């Protein structure tokens, strides 16, 4: 669960992080003021299946392409990337094309977010013994 | 890909029939406020303490302990200021919106700055990518401040500025802009939010660590007391604490305790309490639970009068009379069925008025979707005008005074806040409590409890978890990336035009002032007059004070 950019409004990120933990997932919260590079580094280090971006600031058009490029460069294309927050209608399709799997707007339910992540993460090959 | 339309699809069923009444003939086993506080079926005199002395505990408006209001004439004397928070893209575009809102009858200005400005970055800083003008207006220099108020007489209208970490430099820009208009600093009035404590607690727009940040706040309080006596240098805020998910009581208690912290730090600077306390102002949320909010405002006035007299020995009546601005709760507004938000805002605004607010911002119906269109902002302003001129509630002072429910609610809020004050005092004050993560944890827990209540259907949000329906999409304000380009061009021209020597010497002097003990405002004003940018000033302060990173509590 990442909070990219300058915005510090973290209620959604924290509530969803807690909700996903209650739903049985392991959730790492990056904290605030994350650059795309910091997020991808953390994702790589923690070997996550999914990156959740909390974006309310309108900065998604700058953040997402940069982040997706970093994921490609690190061969992390199989990581599911979802957004929670406020994205204007005209920006939804370009984000989908950039690789964002879902945008959860205000009013989204915890169960819906958890189900989506569960059903859309790519299965990882089992580690060799 | 899930989008706004997909998430609404699963619940297209009509509402269920009303549930069977619980034993006792009521709709539920328990009724609670939105904060989770139990509410009784009926309130009578028996709910007030035995020997409750109304004259002493509640009194009259304009008289201590100010429960019924700080002015004897209430809104019969003067209506609250209709002050719509506003700002987007470039100063030129925002100036147009300000002139429009003033022409529609708003009576005060309120500036919303963009995230780069709030965080002390210039529009062309790499950290500002994608953020310029999106959440507020981009202000990089004194020239932007002048453009923002083009054609608006700063000595004739009061201006509130929602700015925290860089408040001192933004205020310096405002003061120089006013000066260049020929305005007298002794006469101009307005408010700086400048409440850094609630940033650590809730909004998280901090730059520097707590101690130097508090020093900057005290610098502005001291400078204001001496040089700009009609200006409110701080707006001690509960709005953001509430938006982050606190209960009404936590909003009240943490806000007032923040206020007490500012008083103590300023007293330590050596200012007598009555020299600065009259200009401390407050800012509360107007949330959806109508009577809970009214009790909160009334308790706030009583508590502030009590602590200012008993704890800090204030003698000047203006030192103990709590003045506040209110904003209706953004977090209560929905992306679904946005026209419902007009109703929500009207009711919340009514609560603020019945609570005696001095100044009010009403949110626009498109709050959950984007920054407001001019039409939406106008409707929000009309809401206030209708309350003021059509409902009659402004014709008498504190009309709900004497209601058993409201008086009991006020007393309970007061007691609950005093309890929080004791706990926070035991942690070494508010800065100590913040370092221990106490208010942050209270807020995180309260916000999660509320979310769970919503998910279980125990709390209803019309149009979201009940009474769901499809509706047509609303036209909204779209802010593109061109604001950044325009601001970057202005910055380039400014840097070419101004004196490099003046910039270097004023920033060096600022560094010296920041490293020392003197008030930084004179050095900041010199930087502003030399056309130093927000980013240049804040980077200098960052070098001296350092950055702050919080320990996240989820």
- Give the dihedral sign, CA A34/A37/A43/A45: negative
Minimum Cα–Cα distance from B4: chain A residue = A105
Separation CA A18–CA A76 (nearest Å): 25
Ordered structural domains, chain B, with CATH: 45-52+79-455 (3.20.20.240)
User: Contact, B115 vs A5, CB < 8 A?
Assistant: yes
CB–CB contact A15 B549 (8 Å): no
**B3, pLDDT greater than 70:** no
Mean pLDDT of A40-64: 97
Which residue do the tokens 């507020």 mark? B136
Q: Are the Cβ atoms of B131 and A59 closer than 8 angstroms?
A: yes
Helix, strand, coil abundance in chain A, percent, nearest 5: 45, 15, 40
Whether residue B455 is predicted with pLDDT greater than 60 in this model: the reply is yes
* Integer Cα distance of B179 and B501 in angstroms: 23
Chain A residues within 8 A of B461 when measuring between CB atoms: 107
Residue B124 and residue B132: Cα distance in Å, rounded? 9
Residue B508 has pLDDT above 60, yes or no: yes
Chain A residues close to B549, C-beta within 8 Å: 31, 33
Phi and psi torsions of B84, nearest 5°: -85, 120
- Burial of residue A120 (CB within 10 Å: 0-12, 13-18, 19+) is middle
Residues in chain B: 554
Measured between CB atoms, which of B1, B464, B476 is closest to A101?
Answer: B1
* pLDDT band at residue B473 using 50, 70 and 90 as cut-offs: confident
Select the more confidently predicted residue: B470 or A8: A8
- pLDDT tens for B12-59 read 334 444 555 556 799 999 999 999 999 999 999 999 999 999 999 999
In this structure, are residues B59 and B68 in contact, taking their beta carbons and an 8 Å threshold? Answer: yes
Q: Are B114 and B91 in contact (CB under 8 A)?
A: no
The shortest CB-CB distance from A106 to any of B121, B368, B447 is to B368
Report CB contact under 8 Å: B2, A58: no
Kindly state the average pLDDT of the residues B252-278. Answer: 98
Beta bridge partners of B326: B284, B360
Using a CB-CB distance cutoff of 8 angstroms, which residues of chain A are in contact with residue B244? 9-11
Contact B448 A15 (CB under 8 A): yes
Packing angle between helix B167-180 and helix B521-529, nearest 10 degrees? 60
Give the per-residue pLDDT at B24: 75
> Taken in order B257, B325, B353, A106, is the CA torsion positive or negative?
negative
Of A17, A58, A104, the CB nearest to B135: A58
Nearest CA in chain B to A34: B127
* B370: nearest CB among A60, A88, A111: A88
Percent of chain B with pLDDT over 70: 96
Q: Number of H helices and number of E strands within chain A?
A: 5, 3
**Per-residue pLDDT at B20:** 56
3-state secondary structure of B104: coil
Chain A contact residues (CB < 8 Å to B): 5-11, 14-15, 17-19, 29, 31-33, 57-63, 86, 88-90, 92, 96, 100-112, 116
Residue A93: burial class (beta carbons within 10 Å; 0-12, 13-18, 19+) = exposed
Q: DSSP state, B332?
A: G
Q: Which residue of A has its CA nearest to B335?
A: A106
CA atoms within 13 A on the CB side of A100: 26
Question: What are the tokens at B476?
Answer: 């909204």
Mean pLDDT value across residues A6-21: 97
Q: Do A57 and B118 touch (CB under 8 A)?
A: no
Report how far apart the first and last C-alpha atoms of chain A are (Å, whole number). 29
CB within 8 Å: B243 and A11 = yes
- How far CA B304 is from CA of A27, B104, B196, in Å, comes to 42, 35, 20
The 10s digit of each residue's pLDDT in B309-330 is: 999 999 999 999 999 999 999 9
Residue B157 main-chain phi, psi, to 5 deg? -135, 145
CA distance B335 to chain A (A): 6
Interchain contact, A112 vs B130, CB within 8 Å: no
pLDDT at site B451 = 97
Judge contact between B388 and B109, C-beta under 8 A: no
> Closest Cα to residue B536, out of B506, B515, B496?
B506
Q: pLDDT of B173-225, one tens digit each?
A: 999 999 999 999 999 999 999 999 999 999 999 999 999 999 999 999 999 99
Region B495-517 average pLDDT: 98
- Whether residue A128 is predicted with pLDDT greater than 60 in this model: the reply is no
Q: Do A105 and B203 touch (CB under 8 A)?
A: no
CA distance A32 to chain B (A): 8
The whole model's pTM is what?
A: 0.95
pLDDT of residue B471: 84
B486's enclosing H/E stretch is helix B482-497
More confident residue, B434 or A125: B434
User: Mean pLDDT for chain B?
Assistant: 95
Q: Å from B508 to nearest chain A CA?
A: 27
pLDDT for res B4: 38
Nearest Cβ partner for A112 among B7, B115, B334? B7
Q: Which residues of A touch B132 (CB under 8 A)?
A: none
* 8 Å CB contact of A109 and B455: yes
Question: What is the residue extent of each domain of chain A?
Answer: 11-118
CATH of span A11-118: 3.40.50.280
The tokens of A13 are what?
């990120």
Task: Work out the burial of residue B9: count CB atoms within 10 Å of its CB; fewer than 13 is exposed, 13-18 middle, 19 or more buried.
Answer: exposed
């Amino acid at each position: 669960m990442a909070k990219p950019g300058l915005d510090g409004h973290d209620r959604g990120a924290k509530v969803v992080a807690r909700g996903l933990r209650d739903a049985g997932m392991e959730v790492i919260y990056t904290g605030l003021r994350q650059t795309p590079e910091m997020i991808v580094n953390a994702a790589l280090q923690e070997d996550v299946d999914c990156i959740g971006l909390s974006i309310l600031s309108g900065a998604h058009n700058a953040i997402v392409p940069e982040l997706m490029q970093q994921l490609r460069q690190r061969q992390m294309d199989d990581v599911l990337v979802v957004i929670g927050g406020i994205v204007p209608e005209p920006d939804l399709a370009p984000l989908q094309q950039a690789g964002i799997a879902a945008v959860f707007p205000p009013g989204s339910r915890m169960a819906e977010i958890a189900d989506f992540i569960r059903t859309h993460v790519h299965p990882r090959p089992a580690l060799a013994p | 890909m899930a989008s706004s339309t997909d998430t609404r699809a699963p619940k297209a069923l009509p509402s269920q029939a009303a549930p069977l009444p619980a034993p006792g003939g009521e709709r539920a086993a328990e009724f609670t406020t939105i904060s989770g506080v139990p509410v009784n079926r009926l309130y009578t005199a028996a709910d007030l303490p035995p020997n409750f002395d109304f004259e002493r505990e509640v009194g009259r408006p304009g008289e201590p302990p100010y429960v019924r209001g700080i002015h004897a004439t209430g809104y019969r004397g003067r209506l609250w200021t209709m002050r719509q928070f506003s700002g987007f893209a470039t100063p030129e575009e925002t100036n147009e919106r300000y002139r429009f809102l003033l022409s529609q009858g708003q009576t005060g200005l309120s500036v919303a700055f963009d995230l780069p400005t709030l965080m002390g970055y210039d529009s062309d800083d790499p950290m500002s990518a994608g953020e310029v003008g999106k959440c507020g207006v981009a202000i990089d220099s004194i020239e932007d401040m002048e453009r923002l108020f083009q054609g608006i007489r700063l000595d004739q209208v009061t201006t509130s500025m929602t700015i925290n970490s860089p408040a001192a430099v933004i205020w310096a820009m405002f003061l120089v802009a006013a000066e260049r208009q020929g305005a007298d600093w002794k006469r101009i009035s307005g408010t700086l939010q400048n409440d850094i404590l609630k940033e650590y607690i809730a909004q998280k727009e901090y730059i520097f660590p707590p101690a130097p940040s508090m020093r900057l706040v005290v610098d502005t309080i001291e400078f204001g007391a001496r040089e700009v006596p009609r200006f409110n240098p701080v707006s001690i805020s509960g709005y953001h604490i509430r938006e982050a998910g606190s209960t009404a009581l936590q909003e009240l208690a943490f806000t007032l305790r923040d206020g007490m912290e500012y008083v103590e730090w300023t007293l330590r600077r050596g200012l007598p309490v009555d020299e600065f306390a009259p200009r401390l102002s407050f800012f509360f949320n107007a949330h959806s639970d109508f009577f809970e909010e009214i009790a909160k405002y009334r308790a706030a006035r009583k508590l502030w009068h009590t602590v200012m007299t008993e704890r800090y020995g204030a003698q000047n009546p203006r030192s103990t009379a709590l003045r506040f601005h209110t904003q209706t709760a953004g977090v209560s507004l929905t992306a679904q069925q946005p026209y419902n938000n007009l109703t929500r805002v009207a009711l919340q605004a009514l609560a603020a008025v019945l609570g005696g607010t001095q100044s009010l911002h009403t949110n626009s119906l498109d709050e959950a979707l984007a920054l407001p269109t001019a039409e939406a902002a106008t409707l929000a302003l009309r809401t206030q005008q209708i309350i003021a001129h059509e409902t009659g509630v402004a014709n008498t002072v504190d009309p709900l005074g004497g209601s058993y429910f409201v008086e009991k609610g006020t007393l309970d809020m007061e007691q609950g806040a005093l309890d929080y004050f004791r706990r926070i005092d035991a942690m070494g004050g508010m800065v100590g409590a913040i370092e221990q993560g106490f208010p942050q944890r209270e807020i995180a827990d309260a916000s999660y409890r509320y979310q769970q209540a919503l998910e279980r259907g125990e709390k209803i949000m019309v149009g979201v978890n009940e009474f769901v329906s499809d509706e047509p999409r609303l036209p909204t304000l779209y802010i593109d990336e061109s604001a950044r380009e325009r601001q970057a061009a202005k910055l380039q021209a400014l840097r070419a035009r101004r004196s490099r020597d003046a910039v270097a010497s004023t920033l060096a002097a600022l560094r010296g002032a920041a490293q020392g003990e003197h008030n930084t405002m004179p050095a900041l004003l010199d930087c502003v007059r030399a056309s130093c940018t927000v980013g240049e000033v804040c980077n200098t302060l960052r070098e001296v004070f350092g950055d702050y990173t919080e320990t996240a509590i989820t």
